Chains A and B, each alone.
Chain A
Amino acid sequence: MQAIDTIEGKAYPLGRPNIDTDIIIPAHWLKTVTREGLGKGAFETIRAEPGNVFDDERYKGAPILIAGDNYGCGSSREHAAWAMADMGIRAVIAPGFSDIHAGNAFKNGILTVVLPQEEVDRLMEVAKDHPISIDLEHQTVTTPYQDRFRFEIDPFRKDCLLKGLDEIGITLELDAAIAAHEAKAHLDTPWVEGAAKAA
């Protein structure tokens, strides 16, 4: 995972609530067996709307997306995070995120920033003409107008993002604890084992 420190630049002022992952990447794009190239299908139905933010020259190549509440709801498809990463989005600011999508974004090095609706509204306004800056270390979002909004982030996720850590690598270091849990489960709940035939 690529490490994140600060993300600064233009932001797409999308701002709609309940952007589901079918909107972020429609199902017909899911028939791929790789993670690459999904940016082409990102926000396909929104991009069909005249005057949409994604095709507006002012926001071209923006690394930040500003959205409404419950961003990324619906399907667990990680293709949504891959599509966003492929189109160059490195952070999303919204009043709330779906749990699954926030996790998928995190695993692809995309920072999800939760701010109250009124602060999101303010950033939507500023983003029309100015860049926005996100400082992960200090957990702040700032604008050229001296706006300074602090956000909360899970400390584990913050640490992983700052260092660009691989989660499987972290977990495999706990192999002895996993084996100990399995040994205990073998005694306590033996019926859980062997439910599938190893092929």
Chain B
Amino acid sequence: MATESKPRTLYEKIWDAHVVSQREDGTALLYIDRHLVHEVTSPQAFDGLRAAGRTVRRPDLTLAVPDHNLPTTARADAQGKPLPIADAQSAEQLSALTRNTAAFGVEFIDALAPEQGIVHVIGPEQGFTLPGTTVVCGDSHTASHGALGALGFGIGTSEVEHVLATQTLLLKRSKSLEVRVDGPLGPGVTPKDVALAIVGALGAGGGAGYVAEYTGSVFREMSIEGRLTVCNMSIEAGARAGLVAPDDKTFAYLKDKPRAPRGADWDKAVAWWRTLATDPGATYDKTIVIDATSIAPLVTWGTSPDDVVSITGIVPDPADLADPARRAAAEKSLAYMGLTPGTRMQDVAVDRIFIGSCTNSRIEDLRAAAAIAQGRHVAANVKQAMVVPGSGLVKRQAEAEGLDRIFIEAGFEWREPGCSMCLAMNPDKVPAGERCASTSNRNFVGRQGPGSRTHLLSPAMAAAAAVTGHLTDVREFA
């Protein structure tokens, strides 16, 4: 918390406060305040500790939860006894997390706990994620936590082991990127559309080497849950982290969360958090500006998240691309997606609907989808429409509001929390050749299952596609 005269960005302030040791070659040893652990990227890290005879340095800063492999069907029988996981490999990976957390003294939120959920949903919801902290997880969507003004970024398993053993990481400071979006958002334009617009504008690799800070009236006015959606998809533009300066909305969101500071600590924390915003006069290495009024409800057409187009647009023609490598990539994408250039996006019929993932599974997302689903029914050509809350607490809140009844009456499936159909590691998959309107974050080849075809969109647009059976402009439901 050194006071420095040079104006600094939010990123620089968090970085500076966590430098343990600075090397002459530019690499710094950075202290990590929060480590979230899940079953997929941790077994080899715990094995590494075991092999070297090392321990977990700070169990009090480490929280584990299963999410990627868990089936989203019922987890316990009528007597509350846990049901077995059918997939033997998933079961083994999940039990490895149980064993490892017990052996190394790490807190473990188990599959039946009411707080269980997607690691990036529970961090903020538990008040485990706090402004000004460094947050890591062996998962690229750790960028989400930047919504609270935390420096959150994904790490590999070797780094998971490094953090478990030392509570630090060896890193070089990234460049800073300001993403400024000003102006009012049009009807039907949600935080997901803002995120997709940013990814489209920057390109899938445009943010590589940078940490993004989202500035401008759109983010100041956006709810914390909306900011979580935008920061979550920073990585889809290549930025390892995305930040929003903490403000009164952040503090109101965190107040009384289970693990947030209380009493005198709370007041002291808020006073420090207020100092974190980027100083006037601080400079970014790069700035991009997007006019909020130019953002329409968006969908993706290809197999890279920057393949975005307005819902009122058409499938683009690769022949229009000058760069031969990009043209070849676009041709491959369209062949994989089974789409013809010039087709109206709204004429694209869908087989499955997935509302969930760390991008869009919080209560506001479910409310937005339910508002469209209410009094309507999933179209006959849609084989499956799933709603998967991001956590047990989100699920309980939604049920208290009656959203589950709205979805079930409209023909949606109401599931248990987890990563679900976002990444094809659990039974929720899109079969080969089928097309899914999905609120998740990646439309990569095979992402939702081998041969799956993904169109990324907002929760309201996903619900609209469910009831019409094709990609649909949600503004028609206004």
Contacts and interface: CB of A to CB of B under 8 A. Distances in A.
Interface of A: 15-18, 20, 22-23, 26-28, 30-35, 45, 68-70, 73-79, 81, 96-100, 103-104, 107-108, 154-156, 159, 167-168, 170-172, 174, 177-178, 180-182, 185, 188-199
Interface of B: 1, 18, 20-21, 23, 25-27, 29, 31, 33-34, 40-41, 43-44, 47, 52, 54, 57, 59-63, 68-69, 87, 89-90, 92-93, 96, 101-102, 105-108, 127-128, 130, 132-133, 138-140, 142, 153-159, 161-162, 165-168, 170, 172, 174, 204-205, 208-209, 235, 238, 240, 259, 261, 265-266, 268-269, 272, 304, 325-326, 328-329, 332, 423-425, 442, 444-447, 450
Contacts of B266: 191
A33 B108 CA distance: 18
B25 A159 contact: yes
A178 B29 contact: yes
A22 B442 contact: yes
A23 B128 contact: no
Contacts of A103: 155-156, 159
A103 B101 CA distance: 25
A154 B170 CA distance: 12
Contacts of A99: 174, 208-209, 238, 240
B20 A181 contact: yes
Contacts of A17: 205, 325-326, 329
Given A35-B44, A198-B107, A171 B166 contact: yes
Contacts of A98: 205, 208, 238
B54 A168 contact: yes
Nearest to B170: A167
Contacts of A197: 60, 107
26 contacts: A17-B205, A33-B43, A33-B44, A33-B47, A34-B44, A70-B204, A70-B208, A70-B238, A74-B442, A75-B423, A76-B41, A76-B138, A76-B142, A78-B157, A79-B157, A98-B238, A103-B155, A154-B172, A168-B52, A170-B170, A171-B29, A177-B20, A191-B261, A191-B268, A196-B62, A199-B59
B162 A30 contact: no
B433 to A, nearest CB: 14
Given A168-B54, A192-B133, A174 B21 contact: yes
A93 B455 CA distance: 31
Contacts of B54: 168
B446 A168 contact: no
Contact of B208 (A22, A96, A172, A191): A96
Contacts of A181: 18, 20, 31
A7 B76 CA distance: 53
Contact of B20 (A73, A174, A188): A174
Counting from the closest, the 4 A-B pairs by CB-CB distance are A70-B205, A191-B261, A78-B156, A31-B89
A68 B330 CA distance: 14
Contacts of A174: 20-21, 29, 168
Contact of A198 (B60, B235, B450): B60
A20 B236 CA distance: 10
B441 to A, nearest CB: 9
Given A76-B156, A196-B106, A199-B59, 5 more contacts: A76-B142, A156-B172, A174-B168, A177-B20, A178-B31
Contacts of B138: 76, 78
A177 B20 CA distance: 6
Contacts of B238: 70, 73, 98-99
B205 A33 contact: no
Contact of A30 (B40, B52, B261): B40
Given A167-B158, A172-B166, A45 B128 contact: no
Contacts of B57: 178
Contact of A191 (B140, B142, B265, B329): B265
Contacts of B304: 18, 20
A22 B447 contact: yes
A16 B328 contact: yes
A189 B165 CA distance: 22
Contact of A31 (B31, B90, B155, B159): B90
Contacts of A32: 89, 93
B287 to A, nearest CB: 20
Contact of A192 (B44, B130, B139, B162): B130
